[in-house]
Amino acid sequence: MTGPGREAGRAANERLFEVPGAGTVSSLLVRPASARLGLVLAHGAGAGMRQPFLTAFSVRLASFGVATFRYQFPYMEAGSGRPDSPAVATATVRAAVAEAARELEGLPLVAGGKSFGGRMTSTAAAEAPLPGVRGLVFVGFPLHAPGQPGTGRAEHLAEVGVPMLFLQGTRDEFAELPLIEPVVRSLGPRATLHVVEGANHSFAVLRRSGRNPADVLDELAQTFSDWAAAL
């Protein structure tokens, strides 16, 4: 699956895997010794798997016994600013889940991602169940473009058959609360919404809130850990 030249210089936790029809992409594995669960974690549209927030989130999750398998979509791997088509993105999600299952053999899996990555994960799961995945987590579900409120991007969620956790900020310009709240309610008991007070789409909070990025990461990681423990 990989060539020796391309592997040269990679960190010990970096991997390459194949996406059928789309080439080879990179991944990052963070597995604490106490791992009890694996999270297949996709990046957002504008930043790859090494984005500081995702890196910090993975480190914080590790302290809760959660291993993370982060990965690139092909367009990001190629250095393009234009996201892949849904067909390529969902094929990447499936390939990543399969690779994570091999890397994290024996651990139960959850899949999801930040913004675009979470939506492509749910799109894949709506098309057909992701093998071995017990639930989905959305780290800021992108319900609509900023200033263009709507719920069309959520229509496929009705076809997802596993529990879903929505982590959303009250200042998220991609998901106004009066819209995301009824969407989650419509999905019934398999969907859970956790609102992070004062956070925007990047989960940044205003300085006057008295909270810092570490506080937000703690809240996100604790919420995910508690939810996942009940799966």
To 5 degrees, how large is the angle CA 112–CA 231–CA 117? 5
Please give the pLDDT value at position 208: 84
Average pLDDT per run of 10 along the chain, which is 231 residues long? 36 85 96 95 96 96 97 96 96 98 96 98 98 98 97 97 98 97 98 97 90 95 97 93
Strand order in the sheet with 23-30: 14-19, 23-30, 66-71, 37-42, 109-114, 133-139, 164-169, 191-196
Give me 207's structure tokens. 């300085």
- pLDDT value, residue 12: 54
- CATH code for the domain in which residue 67 is found: 3.40.50.1820
- How many structural domains are present in the chain? 1
Domain that holds residue 211: 4-229
pLDDT tens across 195-225, in order?
Answer: 999 999 999 998 888 889 999 999 999 999 9
Bridge-based pairing of strands 23-30 and 66-71 is antiparallel
pLDDT at 207: 85
Q: What is the pLDDT of residue 210?
A: 85
Query: What is the pTM for the complete model shown?
Result: 0.93
Q: How far apart are CA 68 and CA 54, in angstroms?
A: 10
Phi, psi of 199, deg, nearest 5: -90, 145
Per DSSP, what are the bridge partners of residue 17? 25
Q: Residue 61, Cα to own-chain centre: how many angstroms?
A: 13
**Residue 130: predicted pLDDT:** 98
The DSSP bridge pattern shows strands 37-42 and 109-114 to be: parallel
* Type and span of the H or E element at 220: helix 213-229
Query: DSSP code of 29?
Result: E
